[in-house]
């Protein structure tokens, strides 16, 4: 029977038994077996050749990649550390050890934050070109008042001179020189602090159990306060020139340059810097009430009265082109910028005053 026949003796399966997929399969076999141009090479062979070419190109590309070299150091070849090298006598050092093996090795640098520590002594600051009271105070992290009172600048706190030695306290407060009749309680009351604040401050070196004072002794009063002196503008009492025009109250910039110091409680003016000889003009119309040298630190200076309660002051001039009692119009050149008086560099010290009070010029300038 057919079921007993060996598998190799069976009849081939006919197209009818394959079903509808027979023709599709036959078409694939025909496509694979088809020959190339002019009947030379089958597509299968061409495909295999192409595959070999792609593999060869891949091998060539991979050969250009440099793999990292791995070094395995044995215990005998391990480099000597700084501490180990320091314990080996030079005459006993192995001659096979390379010179770099015993060289200094850069140690790790930890990122350590060191907090700012308070200064514990009095230092001296020498005034240089461009220094201002507020700039020096900022540098030493003190108030401008502390520097002013420690150096007797109450009358002219904004005027410094080159080479001037300033005493810089370690803390905000007052440097007091003991005079006849002073007591700790009296000093404390004067500067509005407690007696204990003075006694316990280490730099004063006072015996807490029996504090004594000596005339001329210097004491630091931490947190001490002092009354600022009241400055009044100089007012001209002479006759008003007949040709003097009343000021408009609308001021113009008196010179060109850049503001190096603005209006502050201890500097009630503007400092406008440029080169010596830069023209300085009247900021408004009026008449000159002062023109000459100032013993208060302004150097060569001019004061103009504008006839409406306002006055303007121009300090540190190198030259003056007007005289007292002379009428001037707004924009008239009255002098040249300079570096006279207590000045740390060429600039114009410019003030606007009304009824004797110094005002912020920036509120009146365009």
Q: Which CATH number is 258-363's, of 2.60.40.420, 3.20.20.370, 2.70.70.10, 3.40.50.510?
A: 2.70.70.10
Q: Is the pLDDT of residue 12 over 90?
A: no
Looking at the domain 123-222, which fold is it?
Membrane-bound Lytic Murein Transglycosylase D; Chain A (3.10.350)
More confident residue, 27 or 336: 336
What per-residue confidence (pLDDT) applies to 105? 52
What per-residue confidence (pLDDT) applies to 83? 41
Q: What is the mean pLDDT of residues 73-87?
A: 45
SS (H, E, C) the chain: CHHHCCHHHCCCCCHHHHHHHHHHHHHHHHHHHCECHHHCCEHHHHHHHHHHHHHHHHHHHHHCCCCCCCCCCCCCCCCCCHHHHHCCCHHHCCCCCCHHHHCCCCCCCCCCCCCCCCCCCCEEEECCCCCCHHHHHHHCCCCHHHHHHHCCCCCCCCCCCCCCEEEECCCCEEEEECCCCCCHHHHHHHCCCCHHHHHCCHHHCCCCCCCCCCCCCEEEEECCCCCCCCCCCCCCCCCCCCCCCCCCCCCCCCCCCEEEECCECCECCEEEECCCCCEEECCCCEEEEEEEEECCCCEEEEEEECCCCEEEEEEEEEEECCCCCCEECCCCEEEEEECCCCCCCCEEEEEEEECCEEECHHHCCC
What is the per-residue pLDDT across 156-195, written as a single tens digit (0 to 9) for each? 776 688 899 999 999 999 999 999 999 999 999 999 999 9
What per-residue confidence (pLDDT) applies to 2? 45
What is the per-residue pLDDT across 202-258, written as a single tens digit (0 to 9) for each? 999 999 889 999 999 999 999 999 887 665 555 567 788 989 999 999 999 999 999
Q: What is the mean pLDDT of residues 333-347?
A: 91
Where are the CATH 3.10.350.10 domain residues in the chain? Answer: 123-222
Q: Is the pLDDT of residue 349 over 70?
A: yes
What per-residue confidence (pLDDT) applies to 304? 96
Q: Is the pLDDT of residue 71 over 70?
A: no
- Average pLDDT, whole number, for the chain? 80
The model carries a pTM of 0.55
Where are the CATH 2.70.70.10 domain residues in the chain? Answer: 258-363
């Amino acid at each position: 029977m057919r079921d007993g026949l060996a598998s190799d003796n069976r009849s081939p399966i006919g197209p009818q038994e394959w079903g509808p997929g027979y023709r599709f399969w036959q078409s694939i076999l025909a496509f694979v077996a088809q020959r190339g141009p002019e009947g030379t090479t089958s597509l299968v062979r061409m495909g295999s050749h192409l595959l070999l070419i792609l593999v060869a190109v891949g091998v060539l590309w991979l050969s250009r990649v440099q793999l990292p070299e791995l070094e395995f150091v044995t215990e005998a070849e391990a480099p000597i550390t700084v501490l180990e090298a320091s314990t080996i006598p030079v005459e006993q050092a192995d001659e096979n050890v390379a010179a770099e093996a015993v060289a200094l090795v850069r140690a790790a640098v930890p990122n350590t934050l060191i907090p700012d520590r308070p200064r514990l002594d009095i230092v001296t600051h020498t005034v240089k070109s461009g220094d201002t009271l507020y700039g020096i105070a900022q540098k030493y992290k003190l108030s401008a008042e502390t520097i002013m009172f420690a150096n007797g600048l109450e009358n002219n706190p904004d005027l410094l001179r080159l080479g001037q030695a300033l005493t810089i306290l370690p803390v905000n407060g007052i440097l007091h020189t003991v005079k006849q009749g002073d007591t700790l309680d009296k000093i404390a009351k004067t500067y509005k602090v407690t007696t204990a604040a003075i006694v316990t401050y280490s730099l004063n070196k006072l015996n807490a159990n029996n504090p004594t004072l000596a005339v001329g002794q210097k004491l630091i009063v931490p947190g001490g306060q002092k009354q600022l002196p009241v400055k009044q503008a100089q007012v001209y009492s002479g006759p008003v020139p007949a040709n003097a025009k009343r000021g408009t109250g609308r001021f113009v910039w008196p010179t060109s340059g850049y503001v190096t110091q603005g209006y502050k409680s201890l500097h009630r003016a503007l400092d406008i810097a440029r080169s010596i000889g830069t023209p300085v003009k009247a900021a408004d119309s009026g008449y000159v009430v002062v023109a000459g040298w100032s013993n208060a630190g302004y150097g060569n200076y001019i004061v103009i009265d504008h006839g409406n309660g306002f006055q303007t002051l121009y300090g540190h001039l190198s030259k003056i082109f007007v005289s007292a009692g002379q009428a001037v119009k707004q924009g008239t050149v009255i002098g040249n910028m300079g570096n006279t008086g207590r000045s740390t560099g060429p600039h114009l010290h410019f003030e606007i005053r009304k009824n004797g009070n110094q005002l912020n010029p920036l509120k009146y300038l365009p």
